[in-house]
Amino acid sequence: MNKSFSELRERLLQAGVAPRHVRRYLTELTDHLADLRAEEERAGRSPEDAECAALTRLGGTDNLARAMIEQRQFQSWCVRAPWAMFGLAPLVLLAVAYFAACLVLWSGWKIFLPGTNTPFVAIHGFAIFYFGVGRLLYFSAPILIGWGIGLIAARQRLKAVWPTMGLFLIALIGGTAQVHVSRQALPGEVRHISMDFTLGPSVQGISYGMSHALVIFSLAVLPYLIWRFQKAYTPSP
């Protein structure tokens, strides 16, 4: 990519322009620059002079950036509504993941352990894999969603405030989530699985919940921190 376009790309991303619009804009500029360069070469200029003349005709980085930045429809939703992208959307995804995990637990209880009062017993065979899928989803969902938050923040060159708030919220919910099961002694053997979000009534429960939340936050924020450090210590071209 042309050096001027690399600088333009960073300017646009930092200004909140959505990456898809940045890619499309730079593709159009690259094609237009090639056409201008060809015109200059046909006019008798050397390749180096043709490149300089084409860039001059195309416009400076400031003007090219302003043309996109001033159009609000090109801004990403992370800039327009960060509260939704880093607050509401992760919560919805986490709720879906927890629902799926509970569904796996409920169905596995009904299929593999029909005579037990709880699904949290020793299991064998295919049941280990089946219940393992639910456990993996339950424990990994907050971390994977956190990685998604970090990826979006890094990709769109966002400041750390909103991504950090989103990561903290996901870690807190993940650390306080608890699954409860019960089975009614009635005809039909009704099984209930529910979730709540609490640190527990005891000091030990509070300590465990906060420790769990801290572990989730540390794992979820790690890729974003790596990107921030890499960006901070990578020399500019």
The answer to whether the CB of 221 falls within 8 A of the CB of 167 is: yes
- Compute the average pLDDT of residues 154-176: 90
pLDDT tens, position by position, 32-62: 888 888 988 888 888 888 888 888 888 888 8
Domain spans in the chain, listed from the N-terminal domain onward: 3-74, 77-233
Distance CA 121, CA 24 (A): 55
231 pLDDT band, cuts 50/70/90, is: confident
For residue 143, give both structure tokens: 């971390």
> In the predicted model, is pLDDT for residue 124 greater than 70?
yes
Going by the DSSP 8-state scheme, the letter that residue 75 receives in this structure is: B
Going by the DSSP 8-state scheme, the letter that residue 191 receives in this structure is: E
